[in-house]
Structure 1
Amino acid sequence: MAEVKIVGTTRTEFGKGASRRARRDGLVPAVIYGHG
């Protein structure tokens, strides 16, 4: 089975507009739950 690595950064802007800008820039807005 292949291993997938995801690189993430903390967003400084929130809301619909910020998410749309992130998508336009080729990013995928996400919420990550869990320990770590």
Structure 2
Amino acid sequence: MAFMLKSYMFSILFNVILSSNIVILANSFHINQ
């Protein structure tokens, strides 16, 4: 149970980091053009 919760939290954290990186990349690409 605790392991499932930990992996669930980790996947959420990973998705948040990934999506924020995509937003930053998109913003920098937009600024460069």
Question: Normalization by structure 2: what TM-score?
Answer: 0.36
Q: Which has the higher helix share?
A: 2
Question: Normalization by structure 1: what TM-score?
Answer: 0.33
Larger relative contact order (CA 8 Å, sep ≥ 6): 1
Task: State which structure, 1 or 2, has the greater radius of gyration over its C-alpha atoms.
Answer: 2
